[in-house]
Amino acid sequence: MSDDALLDIRDLRVTYWGKSLLGFRGKAFDAVKGANLSIRPGQTLGLVGESGSGKSSIANAVLGLVPANGGTIRFGDVDLAAMKTRYPPDVRGQIQAVFQDPYSSLNPSMTVEDIVTEPLRVHTTMSRAERRTRAVELLGLVSLSEEHLERHPHQFSGGQRQRIAIASALALAPKLIVLDEPVSALDVSTQNQIINLLYERRDELGIAYLLIAHDLALVHHISDRIAVMYLGHIVEEGPSDRVYRAPAHPYTRALLDAVPVLDPDAQRRRRASRKAAPARETPRLAAQGCPYRNRCPFAMPRCEAQLPPDYPVDGGGTAACFLFEAPAGQGSARLRLVQA
Ligand SMILES: Nc1ncnc2c1ncn2[C@@H]1O[C@H](COP(=O)(O)OP(=O)(O)O)[C@@H](O)[C@H]1O
Ligand SMILES: [Mg+2]
């Protein structure tokens, strides 16, 4: 889409094959069904959607942990999707990752110093002393200190372990960090601390984030743009504030309704005004048409037959929903009418 993008994903398809007898490939399942996404240098794309929608499959395709079965993942001037083997060292150093579970992603037998400096050992010619100096700097970036260097992961809380993982991801000053549900395993106050920490480091260091979460409310402050996934499709994408304040796709609306509101009456009113029907079939059976049609209160006959393309939305971005087929402006007006 944009030439100045750091990461530009076009028509990405990620497929898993079941195993049949004799080890032949079994039935194919497309976890990502042709996704388009773009991130500019230093910016954050929040990728949200419920569990199983394909968020990690996109993250893992970017990281080269699962192969792309179609499409392109342009990073700078290379196509990551076309690289069959491990990425060359210069590319690997520019893309780092932080995963959900700080309990299992850190090697328990390593010290914090080993963990934080591992990327430096692999990718640079720094001496041990230089690496230690850099490790202290990196711990400072995540509000830990030199005294933590000799300790092991089990001596830290979940939030502190995630800080260690972030310090390690920052070690090589990457251009992109893929964060796959980095705070989902943490309690709410720790979640906010880690999100704020990421926000501050991003602006200071000019790093772009692909930030995956299932909670839109949690990541909209830090995200420049938000993409919403449902059953392997990006159903909506746009400027973070617009998506959060004026969600267009019926699924994004339902996703925001899942965020608890303190006033129970307001919550009830909101639910009643937007009720999303429960799924009437198992998600994997939806082969053609809109992936959301069976839960959508606005579903029309054509939603069964045809996958809606991306339509522009007032305020920026797109929604893959026929309600927005009219020229921007009229489409949103129509959706308000249907709801009233
Ligand atoms: N290694 C795998 N083999 C087979 N199916 C998988 C594999 N990984 C994920 N899936 C399936 O792909 C779909 C998307 O999974 P995932 O990308 O992990 O979604 P999310 O991160 O949004 O929860 C799910 O239906 C999941 O069961
Ligand atoms: Mg996931």
Q: How does pLDDT run across 6-28, given as a tens digit for each residue?
A: 999 999 999 999 877 777 778 89
**Whether residues 76 and 151 fall in one domain:** yes
**Whether residues 92 and 201 fall in one domain:** yes
CA–CA distance, 6 with 40 (Å, rounded to integer) = 5
Domain membership of residue 146 (yes or no) is yes
pLDDT of 273 higher than 70: no
Nearest CA to ligand 1 atom 21: 56
Angle 18-66-17 from CA coordinates, rounded to 5°? 10
Nearest CA to ligand 1 atom 2: 16
Domain membership of residue 2 (yes or no) is no
Atom of ligand 1 nearest to the CA of 58: 17
pLDDT of residue 278: 47
Q: Lowest mean pLDDT: which of 168-172, 282-286, 295-299, 324-328?
A: 282-286
pLDDT of residue 7: 98
pLDDT of residue 222: 95
The amino acid present at 25, given as its one-letter code, is R
**Whether residues 23 and 165 fall in one domain:** yes
Domain membership of residue 83 (yes or no) is yes
Q: How far is the CA of 26 from the centre of ligand 1 (A)?
A: 16
Point out the domain boundary residue: 217, 245, 273. 245
Nearest CA to ligand 1 atom 27: 52
Domain membership of residue 1 (yes or no) is no
CA of 54, nearest ligand number: 1
**Whether residues 295 and 177 fall in one domain:** no
How many structural domains is the chain composed of? 2
**Whether residues 255 and 225 fall in one domain:** no
Helix, strand, or coil (residue 249): coil
**Whether residues 38 and 81 fall in one domain:** yes
Q: pLDDT (tens digit, 9 = 90+) per residue, 198-257?
A: 999 999 999 999 999 988 998 999 999 999 999 999 999 999 999 999 999 999 999 998
Nearest CA to ligand 1 atom 3: 16
Ligand 1 pocket test, pick from 25, 56, 180, 231 with the greatest ligand atom count within 8 Å of Cβ, gives: 56
The amino acid present at 6, given as its one-letter code, is L
Nearest CA to ligand 1 atom 18: 56
pLDDT of residue 201: 94
Identify the CATH number of the domain in which residue 169 sits: 3.40.50.300
Nearest CA to ligand 1 atom 12: 31
Of the pLDDT bands very low, low, confident and very high (cuts 50, 70, 90), residue 279 is: very low
**Whether residues 212 and 253 fall in one domain:** no
Residue range 102-131: average pLDDT?
92
Q: How far is the CA of 210 from the centre of ligand 2 (A)?
A: 13
pLDDT of residue 229: 98
Domain membership of residue 184 (yes or no) is yes
Q: pLDDT (tens digit, 9 = 90+) per residue, 288-333?
A: 899 999 999 999 999 999 999 999 999 999 999 999 997 655 545 4
pLDDT of residue 264: 60
Q: What percent of the chain has pLDDT over 70?
A: 86
Distant-in-sequence contacts of 114-120, Cβ < 8 A, 24+ apart: 115/153, 115/164, 115/165, 115/168, 116/164, 116/167, 116/168, 116/171, 117/171, 118/168, 118/171, 119/93, 119/168, 119/171, 119/172, 120/171, 120/172
Decide: 49 and 215 in contact? Cβ < 8 Å.
no
**Whether residues 19 and 124 fall in one domain:** yes
CA–CA distance, 267 with 287 (Å, rounded to integer) = 34
Decide: 236 and 252 in contact? Cβ < 8 Å.
yes
Q: pLDDT (tens digit, 9 = 90+) per residue, 31-50?
A: 999 999 999 999 999 999 99
CA–CA distance, 220 with 242 (Å, rounded to integer) = 10
pLDDT of 130 higher than 90: yes
**Whether residues 133 and 271 fall in one domain:** no
pLDDT of residue 340: 39
**Whether residues 124 and 234 fall in one domain:** yes
Helix, strand, or coil (residue 14): strand
CA of 60, nearest ligand number: 1
Point out the domain boundary residue: 221, 245, 269. 245
**Whether residues 93 and 157 fall in one domain:** yes
Q: pLDDT (tens digit, 9 = 90+) per residue, 154-167?
A: 999 999 999 999 99
pLDDT of residue 2: 57
The amino acid present at 256, given as its one-letter code, is L
**Whether residues 257 and 212 fall in one domain:** no
Range of the domain at 265: 247-340
Point out the domain boundary residue: 210, 245, 280. 245
Give the mean pLDDT of the chain. 88
Domain membership of residue 49 (yes or no) is yes
Ligand 1 pocket: which residues have CB below 6 Å?
A: 16, 29, 31, 49, 51-57
Atom of ligand 1 nearest to the CA of 283: 25
